[in-house]
Amino acid sequence: MNLDNLARVDLNLLVILQVLLEEQSVTRAAHRLHLSQSAVSKSLNRLREALDDPLFQRTAHGLKPTAHALALRQKLLPVLQNLYQLTQPPTFHPASSQRHFTFSMVESAYETLIPYFIGPLLQQAPSVKLDSYVWTEKSMQDLQQGQIDFGIAGRDIHPQSDFKIEHVPEGIEYQTLFNDHQVCLVRKKHPILKVVKSGKWDQDQYLAMSHVQVRCEGNDWWALDYHLANLGLHRHLSTTVPDFYGAASVCAHTDLIFTLPSSFAIHAQKLYSLVSIPLPFDFMPMAYVFLWHERNNQEPGHQWFRELIFNSVDNAIASNRINQLVMPK
């Protein structure tokens, strides 16, 4: 490494390049960096000159990275993350820390998990700021790019296998928090309850009903629908809504049936007059999985946050506060 050459490089330009690669817009990059558009444009010209490449082509939809810019993107974020870590203190003290952590979580896990770790977190680190977002189809990318620190996602598990590591993108670490299974909710006095009581509740009865569905990561279908499609079957999805509480409310006021994780069904029944009945056929269980990027494995604040989550979930399950769930083996 030639340190004399490196000394002539303005490292701020690398930060601007990373933001331009993420935003692909001078306007959005300037807003995010708290700079003028003119300043960002001048920096882009300096980058083009220093790297001897146009880096971006202007299109009707914003800036399109060149092949060289895309190659740089693969290397730049880890470099900036390492530089950032160099500027941070080597230790983390929860009681005095004012760190800002961000995470995305699937909605079905909010009621089940947040009440058990938010208390210990605020008790140990009263000045830490915690921002949470609903897990979407973009959250894994945000995790890879460092836009969020952690994720809690739900993943279906094949009966003969554990959560498959090959399905996790490169660089993403994970730990299973707990396993769950699917149940059905219907309103009290729903006609199907007589069928269940008579012992005639089966797959045909289930498929004959109209269903309310929650969009999963932007999709109208989730694993159960693909499972049925492989068998040449399908559900009649009468209503699709964006969130679990909305689906529970619809279910409580109609004859629609709602299929969902058992852990969330418990909370929905506390708010609405609903009855839980079993899914009338075998279907794979699911896992709630905690995710983070390997670049933060040794970072003290991230280590503290992960341990707090793991311990809180373990304590909740040990004291039977998370009902009907099975710890991962």
Is there a domain that residue 150 lies in? yes
The set of residues, in sequence order, having a beta carbon less than 8 Å from that of 125 and lying 6+ positions away, is: 94, 95, 97, 99
Q: Are residues 108 and 45 in the same domain?
A: no
Residue 329 lies in a domain: no
Report whether 244 contacts 268 (CB < 8 A).
yes
Nearest to 36 by CA among 51, 16, 66: 16
Indicate if 190 and 305 belong to the same structural domain: no
Q: Residue 181's closest CA among 293, 326, 3, 313?
A: 326
147 plus 192 within the same structural domain: no
Any domain includes 325: no
Distance of CA 262 to the CA centre of its chain: 19
**C-alpha span between 29 and 12 (Å, rounded):** 13
Tell me which residue has tokens 């689906």: 247
The reply to whether 121 and 236 lie within a common domain is: no
pTM, whole model, 2 decimals? 0.65
Asked if residue 150 and residue 296 are part of one domain, the reply reads yes
* Counted domains in the chain: 3
Q: What is the CATH number of the domain that holds 310?
A: 3.40.190.10
298 and 157 within one domain: yes
Q: Given 86, 118, 153, which residue is the final one in a domain? A: 86
What is the torsion angle, in degrees rounded to the nearest 10, for the CA atoms of residue 188, residue 190, residue 196 and residue 200?
A: 180
3-state secondary structure of 130: strand
Distance CA 311, CA 324 (A): 19
DSSP string, 136-205: -TTHHHHHHHTSSSEEEEEEE--TTS---GGGSPTTEEEEEEEEE-EEEEEETT-THHHHHHHT---HHH
Q: Are 205 and 237 in a shared domain? A: yes
What does each of the 329 residues of the chain score in pLDDT, given as a tens digit? Answer: 565 666 667 888 999 999 999 999 999 999 999 999 999 999 999 999 989 999 999 998 889 999 999 999 988 988 888 888 777 666 889 999 999 999 999 888 887 788 888 888 989 999 999 899 988 888 989 999 899 999 998 876 544 444 454 577 888 999 989 888 999 999 999 999 999 999 999 999 999 999 999 987 777 888 899 889 999 999 999 999 988 999 999 999 999 999 999 988 988 999 999 999 999 999 988 888 999 999 999 899 999 999 999 998 887 777 655 554 544 43
Q: Are residues 219 and 243 in the same domain?
A: yes
Q: In sequence order, which residues have a C-beta less than 8 Å from that of residue 199 and are 6 or more positions away?
A: none
DSSP H or E stretch at residue 122 = helix 107-124
| CB proximity list for 39: less than 8 A, separation 6 or greater | 30
Q: Looking at residue 168, what is its pLDDT?
A: 78
SS3 282: coil
Domain end residue (candidates: 44, 59, 86): 86
Whether 91 maps to a domain, the answer reads no
pLDDT at 124: 94
- Tokens representing 70 are 């895309």
Q: Do 273 and 294 share a domain, yes or no?
A: no
* Same domain flag for 229 and 215: yes
Distance CA 129, CA 136 (A): 22
For residue 57, tell me if it sits in a domain. Answer: yes
Query: Residue 257 domain-assigned?
Result: yes
117 and 202 within one domain: no
What is the CATH classification number for the domain harbouring 34?
A: 1.10.10.10
Specify if 327 maps to a domain: no
Same domain, 123 and 269: no
Look at residue 94 and tell me if it is in a domain.
Answer: no
**Which residue range is the domain that position 266 belongs to?**
182-278
